[in-house]
Amino acid sequence: MADRSVGALIVGGGAAGAACVEALHEGGFGGGVLLVGREPDLPYERPPCSKTYLAGAQDRDACLFHDAAWYAKRSIELASRVSVMRLDTAERTATLSTKEVVEYGVALVATGANVRRLRVDGAQLGGIHYLRALGNADAIGADAASAEHVVLVGGSYIACEVAATLTTLGKRCTMVMLEDAPLAGHFGPTAGAFFGRLLRDHGVELVCGDGLERFEGEERVERVVCASGREVTADMVVMGTGAMPDVMLARAAKLELGERGGVACSADLETSARGVWAAGDMCEYESVLHGRRTRIEHHEVALAQGRAAAAAMLGTRRPFAEVPYFWTDLSDWATAEWVGLSEAPGQEIVRGSVDAGAFSVLHVADGRVVGALSVDRGDDLAHARRLIAERTPVAGREAELADGDLEAF
């Protein structure tokens, strides 16, 4: 027997959950809305955790989507520091960590992702950090205050952003990565070379093409030992080694899981259980744009999916077909934006000047633009988004793509 019932239950107070409750309210959703979130903070944006919040340039409140009064005024109930322990999709009930059993009409599972931890020797030493939440950023900031040399493990955007932020705060930073160049894995070799130079020019030391073997130290980390045997001294370490979708609740609820580690969803984001949608980092949806199931870990995609799930709950069901958008800020040195279907780059076509730091790289595969990275050339990005969405054929027109007016396509 349920203790009470709500119209919509939202599990997870990240970007997807927050966007969903806002869109439900704006769409005039009739039943009560309950958002259950495990974290102590009200729903907040994660991107500042490695950028302005870590730098001390943005305070905690400014990271929130809304303050408590905003939710209260709209009769959206927030249960922070509360977990959904069990979801019974047949009975349409959720058991909370408070022991309360809540019956729901529709539900959104938006449980996000957790950091991917590397279990190497020395991983238990003090001074080794992962970054997902505001609390992690607090711990990194506090530890960095007395550190001189910080080692970042990983070549993706979190390691790059933290290296840039901490360098700006006066720390000596070394990045250790498997990739040949930072961000090359996601955005290709041209972007990788640009970001490598940018980081080096600002004093970040790069150890590329080398893996993490182990950490050494007494109680705290003192050294990072690489697969090549190279040793890098460290007062502290920040790990940027990726994230894994959090499907614990979904798995226990017997929701169908996908091949990419997420919860398998239809094109309009419904899970295998009727009336239960998924959105955000753990949503593996049948993408009409990609032509296959896909899962995307971008802030804007989580927001858009949260809104799409709300629309579906309100009765407007349509395939989720937004072209994924991502951005990364390396301190105030550069901002890169990306639109695209794939993070495995295709043939590269460069527009503008990489040396001058104003360029775009269009990725072309099978005669179509499948992605575009842009630094200081926002117009290119808008055109690329259209070419991707409309699947415009570009075969044989590579020279025009490089030098011509993209409007002409």
Ligand X SMILES: Cc1cc2nc3c(=O)[nH]c(=O)nc-3n(C[C@H](O)[C@H](O)[C@H](O)COP(=O)(O)OP(=O)(O)OC[C@H]3O[C@@H](n4cnc5c(N)ncnc54)[C@H](O)[C@@H]3O)c2cc1C
Residues 74-93 that bind ligand X (CB under 6 A): 83-84
Say whether residue 327 binds ligand X (CB under 6 A).
yes
Are residues 49 and 37 in contact, defined by beta-carbon separation less than 8 angstroms?
A: no
- Site for ligand X contains 385 (CB under 6 A): no
**Is the Cβ of residue 246 or residue 380 nearer to ligand X in the bound state?**
246
In the bound complex, what is the minimum distance in angstroms from residue 59's beta carbon to ligand X? 16
Q: Which two tokens stand for residue 157?
A: 């955007």
One-letter amino acid of 317: R
The radius of gyration of the chain from alpha carbons, rounded to an integer in Å, stands at 22
Query: In sequence order, what E strands does 110-168 have?
Result: 113-115, 128-130, 149-153
Closest CA to 118 of 85, 159, 83, 150: 159
Q: Please report whether residue 108 would count as binding ligand X according to CB under 6 A.
A: no
Least separation in angstroms between CB 49 and ligand X: 4
C-beta of 18 vs 349, nearer to ligand X: 18
Q: Which class for 170: exposed (0-12), middle (13-18), buried (19 or more C-beta within 10 A)?
A: exposed
CB of 135 to ligand X, least distance (A): 11
Q: Residue 349 or residue 381: which is nearer to ligand X going by CB?
A: 381
Number of residues lying near ligand X (CB under 6 A): 36
Taking the complex as a whole, the smallest distance from the CB of residue 107 to ligand X amounts, in Å, to 12
User: Per-residue x/- marks for ligand X, 270-289, CB under 6 A?
Assistant: ----------xx--------
Instruction: Give every CB contact of residue 258 below 8 A, 6+ residues apart in sequence.
Output: 264, 265, 284, 293, 295
* Min separation Cβ 80 and ligand X, Å: 9
Q: Is 130 one of the binding residues for ligand X (CB under 6 A)?
A: no
**Near ligand X in 203-242, by CB under 6 A:** none
Span interacting with ligand X, options 37-45, 183-191, 353-361, 370-378, rule CB under 6 A = 37-45
Cα separation, 5 vs 98, in Å, equals 15
Select 8 or 15, whichever has its Cβ closest to ligand X. Answer: 15
Give the nearer residue to ligand X in terms of CB position, either 27 or 242: 242
Q: φ, ψ for residue 48 (rounded to 5)?
A: -65, -15
Compute the distance between CA of residue 76 and CA of residue 25 in angstroms, rounded to an integer: 8
Contacts with 329 (C-beta within 8 Å, 6 or more apart), sequence order = 51, 161, 164, 335
**With contact defined as beta carbons under 8 Å apart, do 294 and 128 qualify?**
no
How is residue 255 annotated by DSSP? Answer: P
Q: Choose between 116 and 230: whose C-beta lies nearer to ligand X.
A: 116
Rounded to a whole number of angstroms, the minimum distance from the CB of residue 102 to ligand X is 12
Q: Does 265 bind ligand X (CB under 6 A)?
A: no
Decide if 214 contacts 120 (C-beta within 8 A). Answer: yes
Look at residue 336 and give its three-state secondary structure: strand
Stretch that binds ligand X, among 30-38, 177-185, 372-380, 397-405 (CB under 6 A): 30-38
Least distance (Å) between residue 51 CB and ligand X? 7
- The Cα–Cα gap between 376 and 4 comes to 52
Under the rule (CB under 6 A), what is the footprint of ligand X? 11-17, 36-39, 46-47, 49-50, 83-84, 110-113, 131-132, 158, 246, 249, 280-281, 297-300, 302, 326-328
